[in-house]
Amino acid sequence: MTFNASSRLLISGATGSFGKAFIANLLSRYPEIRRVVVFSRDELKQWELQQIYPESRYPQLRFFLGDVRDQARLRRALERVDTVVHAAALKQVPAAEYNPFEFIRTNVLGAQNLIEACLDSGVERVVALSTDKAAAPVNLYGATKLCSDKLFIAANNFVGERQLRFSVVRYGNVMGSRGSVIPFFLERASTGVLPITDPRMTRFNISLQEGVEMVMWALEHARGGELLVPRIPSYRLTDVAEAIGPGCSKPITGIRPGEKIHEEMITASDSFSTVDLGRYYAILPTSGPSAPTAYCQATGATPVPEGFAYNSGSNPDVLSVEQIRELIRQHVDPAFQPV
């Protein structure tokens, strides 16, 4: 897909880490794009983004205060929009355990509000962001995102004659994003102590740019109904600590509520409806035009073996300590030096 002078796009949650990176990439690639609606509920973050993108230089940007909990506001924001990237979510695991229904309101009911508004407007493409925590979830955040994923995939059943397709992208920890372990360790390194929850713990790793590229790929290639998963490396939490603070003490504090030792993006139960696209896997509906057999015939994808699972602990692509350091310099802090 190539955006052009008639393209109109809305990004929900556009003032978050992903949204800002996506906007920068979009405007760099397609400066002629007609409209980009920045939809989010935080006026301070919108004001800060407006300082980076003043109206005099970026007249295509529209800053639209609103909440995905408010369907009427979404409908207004979606007028004459043809493409939607849904990044709005509450995502802090401990906050979800303490405030469960607030997460349900935003992550589940907000997703359905967006779906309903898209079905009643001229939107043609929707890509929603998910998380590895939605695969076999053990915390409420992951459970709400799994519900959201199911809603977006099922929405393809209701498009009728509309030129509208819904897809989802699922990926792991975004390097350098707010609340993730690398910024936490970078901040704590000066204290000489890097607490480790469990020495066996592993996580998937993806850069913001790779996340943006994946969404761009989905907007161009997704047929509707896919839950796309990238091939990305993993890291051991102990290696992240060693990369950042080799001279720091590393006490073991114990796993926190709602955490897994290893994250999953594809479970063995998903293997019967998962196909390999090369750069990405796609978990597909079990029936309909995007079912595995029809999808493979249309795209050239190949089914994964029965029992296949994609787990950060068994992933053969594991980052070394030096690779982690180089990625931190590349994506988080160019001046980074181990402590």
Q: Which residues are catalytic?
A: 133
Q: How far is CA 277 from CA 131, 138, 292, 334, in A?
A: 19, 28, 12, 33
Cβ–Cβ < 8 Å for 324, 245:
no
> Which helix or strand (DSSP H or E) is residue 36 part of?
strand 35-40
Query: For residue 84, which of 45, 114, 51 has the smallest C-alpha distance?
Result: 114
Cβ–Cβ < 8 Å for 116, 156:
no
| Cα gap 75→113, rounded to integer Å | 9
Give the angle 71-73-74 at the CA atoms, nearest 5°: 65
| Cα gap 274→286, rounded to integer Å | 10
Q: How far is CA 334 from CA 103, 328, 330, in A?
A: 35, 7, 6
Cβ–Cβ < 8 Å for 188, 241:
no
